[in-house]
Amino acid sequence: VAKQAGGNRLRAFDSVQESARQNLVEQRARFDAALNDGELALYLQPKVNMRTGTVVGAEALVRWVHPDKGLLLPGEFLPAIDGTETAVAFSEWVLDSALSHIDSLRRQGLEIQVSINIHADQLRHRGFAEWVLAHLGRHPGVRPNQLDLEITENAALYDVNYVAGELAQLRAIGVSVSLDDFGTGYSSLAYLRRLPIDQLKLDQSYVLGMMQNSADQAIVQGVIGLARSFGYRIVAEGVESVEQGILLAHMGCLIAQGHGIAAPMPAERFAAWAAAWRAPADWMESARRLPD
């Protein structure tokens, strides 16, 4: 009897797994359709220089403008495409739309750098550099240094030699590379040293934590120091308040991105937003007193 019950439990477990798998297959099919039907949009979130009060760039963040469910965030649909051909098709769409937006911003008089998030599956794909170059070739109005590639430590760690070689080719023609969510992955400084990058993005968990505890503040200070000595630019993400911005600027991180400046917005609204934006007065007042 006990053996039989165990067997039933096993069958029940199998069917839970089976329905989870089925669910993923269905989610992916719906996403595939959305990709083909033009339901995806790249939103842009500004990055600003806190000393000069200027808009220096933007990060492209995907949104699914769902006909019934409204605006869906990447955390709700990207996990379903990991390790599938859809991840490759999606990456094509992201790079192509980002380059189109850069071009259209230029025609509106705004020449800025736009960062895109590189899917781990795409980074590991053979011929990654060639793929980016081919897309740049189709957008002659875009200078390579207007494109920034955000990669995560964990994606790069998969095959450091391959990834480092591909990134080096891209940097050689001026494409910029950022390490996203810095401080949350598993890479060591030894790996970091081997990656050819231009910029570190300080993860929002530290930006949040530094206001509450001295350990996180020490980490932020340490990462800023590390970036300095390696010659990397540094940008803080998840900046929600003027106080956070001021503290970061005083610690030596001048570029900020977060809801305190603006939430990600439809790309079509970005130029008007950038033209109208003024840095908060107490922010600028504090930045004037920064040491050089």
List of residues contacting Mg ion (CB under 5 A): 117, 150, 180-181, 237
d(CA 53, CA 241): 15
Distance of CA 245 to the CA centre of its chain: 19
Stretch of 216-224, 235-243, 265-273, 281-289 lying at the interface with ligand C2E (CB under 6 A): 235-243
Q: Which residue is nearest to ligand C2E (CB)?
A: 258
Least CB distance from residue 26 to ligand C2E, whole Å?
Answer: 21
- For the window 191-230, what string marks contact with ligand C2E as x by the rule CB under 6 A? -------------x--------------------------
- Pick between residue 105 and residue 207 the one whose CB is nearest to Mg ion: 207
d(CA 241, CA 247): 10
- In the range 130-159, which residues lie near ligand C2E by CB under 6 A? 150
Which pair of structure tokens corresponds to residue 214? 């001295």
Backbone angles phi, psi at 240, to 5 degrees: -105, -20
Burial 227-254 (b: 16+ CB within 10 A, else e): beeeebbbbbbbbeebebbbbbbebebb
Write the interaction track for ligand C2E spanning residues 73-102; mark x where CB under 6 A is met and - where it is not.
Answer: xxx--x---------------x--------
How many angstroms separate the CA atoms of 264 and 198, rounded? 23
Q: How far is CA 143 from CA 60, 70, 110, 208, 276, in A?
A: 17, 35, 13, 34, 25
- Residue (21 or 259) nearer to ligand C2E, CB: 259
62's contact among Mg ion, ligand C2E, none, with CB below 5 to 8 A by partner kind, is ligand C2E
What whole-number distance in Å separates Cα of residue 259 and Cα of residue 126?
Answer: 36
CA distance 76 to 90: 15
Structure tokens at 73: 């965030």
Binding status of residue 238 toward ligand C2E by CB under 6 A: yes
Q: How far is the CB of 124 from ligand C2E (least distance, A)?
A: 13
Q: Output Rg (C-alpha) for the chain, integer angstroms.
A: 21
Q: How far is the CB of 88 from ligand C2E (least distance, A)?
A: 11
Q: Would you count residue 180 as binding ligand C2E (CB under 6 A)?
A: yes
Interface residues toward ligand C2E, by CB under 6 A = 45, 60-62, 73-75, 78, 94, 117, 119, 150, 180-181, 204, 237-240, 258-259, 264
